[in-house]
Structure 1
């Protein structure tokens, strides 16, 4: 295999973007679950005492979970396609002995 900058450096922009999307999606999903658990405990009774706020809170948590799932899926797809592209380009290189 030829040792070029392409084969030695696997950190490309789509890979970094995919990893960042996975990280942000995970944090948003964890935050939405944490908020839901706090709302159902005794601590949440004081914070979410008004029924009108409860409806808005449930809607916000649904939107956050949906956004997190979209971020996680797009990050996974970006990382997978970049790994396949890098593997394909490394396989097609000519070896020099």
Structure 2
């Protein structure tokens, strides 16, 4: 394999974007689960007393989990496709030289 800067430098923009999407998706997912568990405990009952706000709370948690899932999937896809693109470029450089 030819040693080019692109084969050693994996900090391309899609890789950074994918990593950030994975990190933010993980934190949002953990926050939504933490919030749901806090709401279900005895101390959370005093914070979420109003029944009409319960519908908004559950829908907000579902929306956060959906957003986190989209971020996790898109981050994983960005990293995977970028790794495949770099590997494909490296393979083409080897065969053409």
User: TM class by shorter-chain length?
Assistant: over 0.9
| 1:87 corresponds to 2:87 | yes
- Per-residue CA deviations over 1:12-68 (Å, capped at 9, x if unaligned) read 000000000000000000000000000000011110011011111001001000100
CA distance in 2 between counterparts of 1:80 and 1:5 reads: 19
Runs (4+) off by over 6 Å: none
Structure 2: stretches of 5+ with no match in the other structure: none
Higher helix share: 2
Give the whole-Å Cα distance in 1 for the aligned partners of 2:63 and 2:53.
15
TM-score w.r.t. length of structure 1: 0.92
How many residue pairs get aligned? The number is 95
Output the aligned Cα RMSD: 1.1
5+ long unaligned stretches in structure 1 = none
